[in-house]
Structure 1
Amino acid sequence: MTESNGSVPHEGSMPDWEKRFRAPRVSLPDWAEDAPHRSLFVSNATGTYELYAWDRETGDQRQVTDRPNGTTDGVMSPDGEWIWWFDDKDGDEFGIWRRQPFAGSGDKGDKGRKGGEGGEGGEPVLDEPAAPGLDPSYPAGLALGRDGRTAIVGRSTDEDGSTIYVSRTGEDPVEVYRHRESAGVGDLSHDGSLIAIEHTEHGDAMHSAVRVLRMDGSALAELDDTKGGTAELGLEVLGFAPVDGDTRLLVGHQRRGRWEPMVWDAASGEETDLALAARLDGDLSAEWYPDGSALLVVNSFEARSELWRYDLATRGLEQVPTPKGTVSGATARPDGSVEFLWSSAAEPPVVRSTSGEVVLDPPGMKAPASVSVQDEWVTGPGGRIHALVQRPAGVTGPLPTVFDIHGGPTWHDSDSFAAGPAAWVDHGYMVVRVNYRGSTGYGREWTDALKHRVGLIELEDIAAVREWAVSSGLADPDRLILTGGSWGGYLTLLGVGMQPEAWALGIAAVPVADYVTAYHDEMEALKAMDRTLLGGTPEEVPERFEASSPLTYVDAVKAPVYISAGVNDPRCPIRQVENYVTRLAARDAVHEVYRYDAGHGSLVVDERIKQVRLELDFAERHLGR
């Protein structure tokens, strides 16, 4: 909390759970391909997550953006001269790209400024519109050319669907792609002659096809795994080879039931199967080493990850040493070293290098450690369910237990550091996280299983893990909290309505609460996802939307419910939350609502701490310990 004068409490008087939120963090630095000493990273050092420029040769760091609700979307130009960042309004994700020189205005103490007009005395514009002529939109990918003047800009709006433009400095933007279904920019070839896009023209927003366009918008090649088989399979663009004139594209595919990379030559059509699935378990992603001779492979398996180097000439596979836990991002540097952002449930995140050094260590307090996660495998109606369990050290059950449900739904909880679950553990709760059907990391069939019975499938898996937690003696059946954010918030509200006897409390952050209204108000890309998940629009399949909507079951809710929501949220819009709250209030159901001025969550540390404190207080008042 802040003190009466608005300052942050002294570190010595601050509880560990709050320190984990306040401790300065940094993202994995993104570096300019042709100027690798210039990097861009995100940090919460000022109390708000913002972009920072870092010159590794001089050691200078400069805050690039400074906005009340924070900024995290930024891209470096290949030559390292420009930083592009996305400027929306208070977290609504609808805006334009701006750019500023890497060196800023020349004053190292200056922070980035928002706006498109010059300052007093004719000083240069620091944050100019980067793609003049393009109206505000939701972002749908961005790729910058190494000529310093070309950008491929993906856009999404309710009116136009998905559009992609070639934007050149001093010229009007040229449209090269348009479709009603969702699509986005994947990459621009090293020589700037080809554009790779992911599209869902076939209508399945969960499984993209890949198309390579020439700069005039004409199609060079198409790769589409959604046709000709018994199941629709997805593809993803992982990047063009980093060599001039090279038309090879690294593509992720699901042909063997899970994600793995292959190399596709867009000019010749030749596909090179790397056969990595026969050598490594789990989902596999990859990126090119800077000289194009090898791939850096990320292997995500059973909530943890490893790094491997794959030599394209010899097909040799060599493990890149990392501690046990989760690699949230990794990049191969020109000198052959690998930098990666690593953490575990017990150990806070750190940016490391295979050279042995900590790459970027922010000053200030360090986040206290938490407790390790334990793996539990529970038999469920659709197969084995992986649950991650954290318990207070030295305490035996039965314990008050928080089922903290992840969002997405195409996401998964992992053995990585998370300040939210750690706060519950500090307060004496056991935390259980469930990688239900719909989660990634356990194969395509597991991820795709929730179609048409949206929400119902996930709750079946959560119920199976709940039964295990209670029957094992670890969880107190009378003190079970269901909570989560985004899709996890949706499952929370659905759960307390469909399983009213199972839960003592429901705590939902930025949830879907009224599925029909949410569909009509949300951003276009999410409408496409909902049509895929449910098999149509609310008008086409009303029975499915009704069966999957928390509003349908609101009158059955018995547990006290706490809801937090961002008033500018384009993903889980505020109107549908208000509809649900109105129904709770109409029957005097016990509930509390917290509305805040941001979008789908907050990038402001004080705000996030406030929300966690309100959740902990709600649980204490209604449940005790």
Structure 2
Amino acid sequence: MVPTPAAKLRSAPLRSTPGPRRLLDLRTLLYAKRVTAVRWSADGRSLWFEWNATGRFNLWRVRADGGWPVQFVVSDEWTHLQDPSPDGRWVVYTQDVGGNEKPNVYLVSTAGGPPVDVTRTEGVGYHSVHWLPDSSRLVFAAEREEPGAYCAYLLDPATGQVVRVAGNERGQCAWVRTSPDGRWLAINRTHDYAHCGVSVVDLKDGGERVLAEPDDRSTVEAVAWTPDGRLFVTSNRNPQDLEAAALLDLDGRVTWLWKSEWETRVAAGSPADGRYLLVEDEAGEHRLWLCTLAGDRRALDVPGGVLTAAQFSPDGHRIALVYESADRPPDLWVVRAEAGEAVQLSDSLVGGLGPEDFVRPQRVVYPSFDGTPIAAFAYVPRGARPDGSLPAVVYVHGGPASIHANAWFPHLQHWVSCGFLVLCPNYRGSTGFGRAFQEANRKDLGGGDLRDVVAAVDYLRSTGYVDPQRVAVAGGSYGGYLTLMALAKFPEVWAAGVAIVPFANWFTEYEHEDPVLQAYDRMMMGDPVEDAELWRDRSPIFFADGIRAPLLILAGANDIRCPVEETHQVAEAVRRAGGVAEVHVYPDEGHRFGKRENQLDAFERAARFLRAHLGEPTGGVS
């Protein structure tokens, strides 16, 4: 049994919300919009944010005291908000092509006008872009010199001159941020995308000082500077082995800020007085605390759900939040730090829908094959009765270092409204449950975590609601991989499967990855030569002849994480063995489907597929 704080949770019997079931139109659900990032203007009078009100994630601006949002960038591609300039003249954002994750850097004047590509490269990839405090230059992480080698650079947007300020010898530059006085550049360095260390570069003389060396067992990750030149960090280098919020001095000294049974992190720090917003993550439910460096704290009154993004205003008196839950899409709010009152600045639900129309998930805990408690969220159709007749879907999150939280999933709400009970397990390897639980899948991907997913069906059977002959498995990315593994290794359990942007073959996946992802795979799965037997055993492509349930695969043609060739490999293998494998590839998408019409098409296909192979609910719902 793996130790996890989920053992503290109590699991009440499943229950359904009384009342008749109402089918929620998928198109209407997907027209509910999403805010994904927010930044304050330099004067604190307005906010910049990413929003897909038009069906594309573009750049918008709204007054901080309310008003009608104004679209500032119009693009068919996803525009990723980075940073408004401190002098108030510019906003910088990044934009890729067709979801290929190789974005360039663009500037747009706050007075209006066309955006300007200030990097003018192809196939490079720029990330973590920010202004220096004097607005003279931009700092960013990029793979300008070789693919997968992320270094830190300074760019003069007026001349186009680029200067490298930190290489990748000590680890890839994953996040960069200058200190308030402009002297220091903080860098999160990683060798494997799973563990971070922190260093600072003196921008005066170029010297680098390591504050926390990256290793392959723990992490220290900087998130923001304090006004006095220290760093807020999240780290699991503590006796509790939980990720926790801390302060990191420039001499490497760590001061822990909070002790909790659950993982904590600093979501934002005030540039004015050092106050900070702390998130306490209780198995996918967030509690927010406004804290001072002196140790005072006050809970913010927010409904159940999760925080997506946050930033303090320049004067420190207000906090911009992007908050979401299963019954509320991600929206932009401003909270007054002193009074706690909140003003909603975006309204992403469409007419005719309110929070009362959605099913709120119930947090449950079930035992896995070895007794490890697995926390999950269960979505029970409205009016359901425990007569053993409901079809169900076990929906598997990606990552694997991620978590299914009480967040906005419109396709899950549609499936539940169709009459499917949906269970979303946080299998071993998920974040939020401590280091031991997160690392329990090392050298065992597609092993214990897969059995956690299969154990979900035993739990569903025990509730009395579900017909065990009508259970499907579905998931995206690593969740798509586990979907394929579940169908191949436990074919008797499943009636259907939906794999979204999956991979199927560890060997070919590894061959096409960048060096950092390859390092992650070696850490998690061993060496592809020395541990070839394990790699083969955990590649569903070699067991595709065992997939008996009908399979639907949805993929993006420009996916650099799980290349579309992985989809074609496994589909062809299933068909050769006489199985059913439907495939649809979106030519203008990558690893995430960002265009609304593609999201609609993908989730409509999935819903039709599930209805066709699980059948309509019979008797289990009113």
TM-score by length of 2: 0.87
**Residue 239 of structure 1: aligned partner:** 224
**Residue 230 of structure 2: aligned partner:** 248
Counterpart Cα distance in 1 of 2:550 and 2:54: 36
User: 1:223 is matched with which residue: 186, 190, 211?
Assistant: 211
Counterpart Cα distance in 1 of 2:353 and 2:51: 14
Name the amino acid aligned to 2:151.
T
Counterpart Cα distance in 2 of 1:217 and 1:479: 65
Counterpart Cα distance in 1 of 2:297 and 2:397: 33
1:65-124 alpha-carbon deviations (Å, 9 max, x no partner) = 33334333443223332222222121111131111112222xxxxxxxxxxxxxxxxxxx
Instruction: Please state how far the C-alpha of 1:377 moved relative to its aligned partner.
Output: 0.8
Does structure 1 residue 326 correspond to structure 2 residue 311?
no
Quick check: 294-303 or 347-356, which moved more? 347-356
**Residue 346 of structure 1: aligned partner:** 327
Counterpart Cα distance in 2 of 1:450 and 1:431: 24
List runs of 5+ in structure 1 lacking aligned partners.
1-12, 106-125
**Residue 114 of structure 1: aligned partner:** none
User: 2:249 is matched with which residue: 256, 261, 265?
Assistant: 265
User: 1:357 is matched with which residue: 343, 357, 360?
Assistant: 343
User: 1:277 is matched with which residue: 259, 262, 275?
Assistant: 259
Instruction: Please state how far the C-alpha of 1:168 moved relative to its aligned partner.
Output: 2.0
1:453-500 alpha-carbon deviations (Å, 9 max, x no partner) = 112121111122221111332221110110011111111011100111
Query: Superposition pairs for residues 132-211 of structure 1, below 5 Å?
Result: 136-156=123-143, 159=147, 161-169=149-157, 170=159, 172-179=161-168, 181-200=171-190, 203-211=191-199
Answer yes or no: is the 8 Å Cα contact 1:487–1:511 preserved in 2.
yes
Quick check: 459-468 or 488-497, which moved more? 459-468
* SS of corresponding position for 1:433: strand
Cα 1:72/1:19, change in 2 over 3 Å: farther
User: 2:35 is matched with which residue: 18, 26, 40?
Assistant: 26
Query: Superposition pairs for residues 278-297 of structure 1, below 5 Å?
Result: 278=260, 281-297=262-278
Counterpart Cα distance in 2 of 1:235 and 1:574: 34
Counterpart Cα distance in 1 of 2:567 and 2:513: 12
Does structure 1 residue 370 correspond to structure 2 residue 358?
yes
Answer yes or no: is the 8 Å Cα contact 1:309–1:318 preserved in 2.
yes
1:582-612 alpha-carbon deviations (Å, 9 max, x no partner) = 2122223111000112111221112111111
Cα 1:270/1:182, change in 2 over 3 Å: closer
Name the amino acid aligned to 2:246.
M
Cα 1:185/1:25, change in 2 over 3 Å: closer
Instruction: Please state how far the C-alpha of 1:335 moved relative to its aligned partner.
Output: 5.4
Cα 1:257/1:575, change in 2 over 3 Å: same
List runs of 5+ in structure 2 lacking aligned partners.
1-21, 617-622
User: 1:41 is matched with which residue: 38, 41, 49?
Assistant: 49
Answer yes or no: is the 8 Å Cα contact 1:259–1:285 preserved in 2.
no
Answer yes or no: is the 8 Å Cα contact 1:23–1:365 preserved in 2.
no
Quick check: 214-223 or 163-172, which moved more? 214-223
> Matched residue pairs, number?
578
Identity %: 26
Cα 1:360/1:58, change in 2 over 3 Å: closer
**Residue 427 of structure 1: aligned partner:** 418
Counterpart Cα distance in 1 of 2:85 and 2:475: 37
Name the amino acid aligned to 1:183.
C
Answer yes or no: is the 8 Å Cα contact 1:225–1:232 preserved in 2.
no
Counterpart Cα distance in 2 of 1:96 and 1:445: 38
Counterpart Cα distance in 1 of 2:304 and 2:75: 36
Counterpart Cα distance in 2 of 1:373 and 1:237: 32
Counterpart Cα distance in 1 of 2:204 and 2:147: 24
Counterpart Cα distance in 1 of 2:393 and 2:518: 31
User: 1:410 is matched with which residue: 389, 398, 401?
Assistant: 401
Counterpart Cα distance in 1 of 2:37 and 2:151: 30
Answer yes or no: is the 8 Å Cα contact 1:165–1:174 preserved in 2.
yes
1:523-557 alpha-carbon deviations (Å, 9 max, x no partner) = 44433322222133x23432232122121211111
1:114-149 alpha-carbon deviations (Å, 9 max, x no partner) = xxxxxxxxxxxx2222246x6641334222212222
* SS of corresponding position for 1:175: strand
Answer yes or no: is the 8 Å Cα contact 1:554–1:583 preserved in 2.
yes
Counterpart Cα distance in 1 of 2:348 and 2:419: 30
* SS of corresponding position for 2:310: strand
Answer yes or no: is the 8 Å Cα contact 2:328–2:349 preserved in 1.
no
* SS of corresponding position for 1:293: coil
Counterpart Cα distance in 2 of 1:474 and 1:225: 50
* SS of corresponding position for 1:298: strand
Answer yes or no: is the 8 Å Cα contact 1:438–1:450 preserved in 2.
yes
Quick check: 69-78 or 367-376, which moved more? 69-78
**Residue 569 of structure 1: aligned partner:** 559
Counterpart Cα distance in 1 of 2:87 and 2:470: 56
Query: Superposition pairs for residues 110-125 of structure 1, below 5 Å?
Result: none
TM-score by length of 1: 0.87
Counterpart Cα distance in 2 of 1:273 and 1:247: 17
Counterpart Cα distance in 1 of 2:309 and 2:81: 15
Cα 1:492/1:269, change in 2 over 3 Å: closer
Higher relative contact order (CA 8 A, sep 6+): 2
Quick check: 502-511 or 78-87, which moved more? 78-87
Quick check: 77-86 or 419-428, which moved more? 77-86
Counterpart Cα distance in 2 of 1:514 and 1:73: 35
User: 1:481 is matched with which residue: 463, 472, 479?
Assistant: 472
Counterpart Cα distance in 2 of 1:461 and 1:443: 17
Name the amino acid aligned to 1:338.
I
Quick check: 208-217 or 499-508, which moved more? 208-217
Name the amino acid aligned to 1:260.
A
Answer yes or no: is the 8 Å Cα contact 1:23–1:366 preserved in 2.
no
* SS of corresponding position for 1:519: helix
Counterpart Cα distance in 1 of 2:615 and 2:65: 54
Counterpart Cα distance in 1 of 2:507 and 2:73: 37
Instruction: Please state how far the C-alpha of 1:262 moved relative to its aligned partner.
Output: 1.5
User: 1:504 is matched with which residue: 467, 475, 495?
Assistant: 495
Name the amino acid aligned to 2:31.
R
Instruction: Please state how far the C-alpha of 1:382 moved relative to its aligned partner.
Output: 6.1
